[in-house]
Amino acid sequence: MITGLLTVASPFVVVERAAAETVSLWSTSAVPQTRTDPDTRSVEVGTRFRTAVAGSLVGIRFYASADNDGPHQVHLWGDDGGVLAQQAVGQADPGWQTVRFDRPIPLRAGSDYVASYVAPHGGYSDDQNSLSPRSPRVSGPLTALAGVYSYGGDMPSQTWNDSSYYVDVIFDPASASTATTTAPSPEPGAGSMAPTAAPTRSVTSSPSATPTNSAPATGASSSSAPATAPSSTQTTTKPATSPTAPSSPATSAKPTSSASTLPTSTSGSSSDGLRLGCALVPSGCGYPDATNTGVPSGTKLVRIPADVSSGSGWSFHDGYLDITGSRTTLSGYAITGDVSVSADDVTIENSSITVGGESFGVAVRHADDLRLDHVEIKPPSTADRLLVGVKDIYGDSNGTTIVDSEISGVSTGIQIGGGTIEDNYIHGLIANDGDHLNGVTSNGSTQQLTIRHNTILNPVSQTDAIGLFQDFGVEANRSIDDNLLGGGGYTLYAGSGTHGTTSGIKITNNRFTASLFPLGGYWGPATAYDRNGSGNTWSGNVWDLTGLPVGTP
């Protein structure tokens, strides 16, 4: 038992300091506001946490009311989703239940873990709006990052409305000599941007006996997009009392404890020569940024429509450029207005497209083999944002290739079902009310889609940098390789949904930066990945600042 705890109130961080050999996150006198949730389903609830120093976990504590009867099973999970320790326990008197392991479990500094227990009949304790990455709970070397849960028997990873489920740990930092140490996980630093919109595509449902928008807890989608935006909303089960997705603050309060923040203003190299900290200047590590994408420096551009309004295979009318001729090539143009492509084998290169509002930079309409090469797409200074940079309107275009291009100031960068997206810089996403923010997104297709060596940064806590969704069909045959990614609700949605089991989802050798949010995305680096799908692969993915592995979702 921990004695002599001092609680310091703060709008963002609760700090407790223990005067005992072991450290926990909550005082034994702490009592949840909601002692018994009305949910009666079997569910596993827990706390995602990390420690700033190596040591050992000697036990897990959790608060249980008289209605939360056992038997219970407690688990300690590693960041790869594996169980590090488990133990069964009966129900004692209501209040804090303490389970001590038969042997201490070594914990590494900087790694994320989940401490959890199974409530076989629901009735768990919870407080909403009390725990999140932007408002963590810090006690000595321990930082609680989020309350998490799972209905499926996997490691708890879903969140609801910044809820805490009062699952605590008993940590012994004095045993650091017996634990393996590693560098801390990456954290936000210079240049980070606050979230401005709620992550409506994130899997943010609460355990509840009466769900709405019912769907599997693995990230199924429901097609509920705004009328002006073809993108569909992805939500999962919600409690009857709180059917809406959680809202993020207009400004993000970053953790202030030294246990959970690290500088990210400089890049370096790991012991094996891997360049680290590339998000600050991506081109310094060979990744795309404004210096090596878009219209090449020194290119002279002819203005459309100011200088010319028609050419072979195309014409400008009614405020947009209409390309109707097969094998048309446009090179060296500054286009003001959206571009509609309804012919095959069209190439747009070394050109800029400036358009804003509820429109598309390039709308692909039943057209195959479109190629965009060194193209810059952005809204004018008079517009707040552009809806989508490049969009396959009907979802039936094949062979689209987008390379060496820069897309910014949009809600969604690229929305296609198949093709190649390579060496592009997609950044500065902007949200209007009702927008879903995606760097690159697919809404359900089995065409081969290759997303390789791009820099995709979403500074808003909404949706994703890359999102594979089953809005209209199953996701399959996707290669996401060697990208520099960050931001969004989750940085990456990996395709699981209601239309079928994903297959051929290969997510390899990507870098996840925490320069925008402490967990990569507002809720975490990735979600909705099916480990059991045929040909699905998660390997070689690392944190940009440390080079440490990003665990399989």
Q: What is the DSSP string of 150-200?
A: ESSSS---B--TT-B--EEEEEEGGGGGGS---PPPP---TT-----S--T
Query: Is 128 part of a structural domain of the chain?
Result: yes
| Beta-carbon contacts of residue 138 (< 8 Å; ≥ 6 apart) | 13, 14, 15, 16, 144, 255, 257, 259, 260
Query: Is 251 part of a structural domain of the chain?
Result: no
**pLDDT recorded at residue 198:** 33
Query: Is 196 part of a structural domain of the chain?
Result: no
Query: Is 65 part of a structural domain of the chain?
Result: yes
Q: Which residue has the tokens 């509820």?
A: 358
Query: Is 197 part of a structural domain of the chain?
Result: no
- What is the Cα–Cα distance from 165 to 431, expressed in whole angstroms? 31
- What is the Cα–Cα distance from 185 to 169, expressed in whole angstroms? 20
End-to-end Cα spacing for the chain: 34
Closest CA to 524 of 476, 477, 492, 549: 492
**pLDDT recorded at residue 289:** 95
- What is the Cα–Cα distance from 242 to 222, expressed in whole angstroms? 18
Q: In terms of C-beta density within 10 A (0-12 exposed, 13-18 middle, 19 or more buried), how is residue 93 classed?
A: exposed
Pair 509, 360 in one domain: yes
**pLDDT recorded at residue 93:** 81
- The number of beta carbons lying within 10 Å of the beta carbon of residue 307 is 10
54 half-sphere exposure, CB direction, 13 A CA radius: 11
**Residue 205 structure tokens:** 């449902």
Q: In terms of C-beta density within 10 A (0-12 exposed, 13-18 middle, 19 or more buried), how is residue 331 classed?
A: middle
- What is the Cα–Cα distance from 91 to 383, expressed in whole angstroms? 60
Q: Give the structural domain span for 125.
A: 23-173
End-of-domain residue from the set 148, 173, 198: 173
End-of-domain residue from the set 157, 173, 189: 173
Q: Are 170 and 26 in contact (CB under 8 A)?
A: no
Pair 166, 305 in one domain: no
Query: Is 254 part of a structural domain of the chain?
Result: no
Q: Give ∠ CA 442-433-318 in degrees, rounded to 5.
A: 75
**pLDDT recorded at residue 269:** 56
Q: Are 200 and 233 in contact (CB under 8 A)?
A: yes
Q: How does DSSP classify residue 132? A: B
Query: Is 1 part of a structural domain of the chain?
Result: no
Work out the widest C-alpha separation in the chain, in whole angstroms: 82
**pLDDT recorded at residue 270:** 54
List per-residue pLDDT tens for the chain, 553 residues long. Answer: 222 222 222 222 232 323 347 999 998 889 998 999 988 888 999 999 999 888 999 999 999 998 888 788 899 999 888 899 998 887 668 899 999 998 899 999 888 999 999 998 899 999 998 998 878 898 888 999 999 999 877 899 989 889 999 999 999 987 644 333 333 333 333 233 333 333 333 333 334 332 222 222 323 333 222 223 333 333 333 232 222 222 332 222 222 222 222 223 334 555 456 678 899 899 999 999 999 999 999 999 999 999 999 999 999 999 999 999 999 999 999 999 999 999 999 999 999 999 999 999 999 999 999 999 999 999 998 888 999 999 999 999 999 999 999 999 999 999 999 999 999 999 999 988 888 899 999 999 999 999 999 999 999 988 999 999 999 999 999 999 999 999 999 999 999 999 999 999 999 999 999 988 889 999 999 999 999 999 999 999 999 989 999 999 9
| Beta-carbon contacts of residue 466 (< 8 Å; ≥ 6 apart) | 438, 439, 440, 441, 451, 456, 480, 483, 485, 491, 492, 493
For residue 32, what is the domain's CATH number? 2.60.120
End-of-domain residue from the set 173, 199, 229: 173
Pair 307, 455 in one domain: yes
What are the DSSP E strand ranges found in 337-475? 338-341, 347-354, 357-364, 371-378, 386-392, 401-403, 406-408, 410-415, 419-422, 425-427, 438-442, 449-452, 455-458, 466-468
- Torsions phi, psi for 348 (to 5 deg): -120, 120
What are the DSSP calls for 57-113, one per residue? EEEEEEEE-TTS-S-EEEEEE-TTS-EEEEEEE---SSEEEEEEEEEEEEE-TT-EE
Number of domains in the chain: 2
Query: Is 296 part of a structural domain of the chain?
Result: yes
- What is the Cα–Cα distance from 407 to 423, expressed in whole angstroms? 12
Strand partners, 490: 524
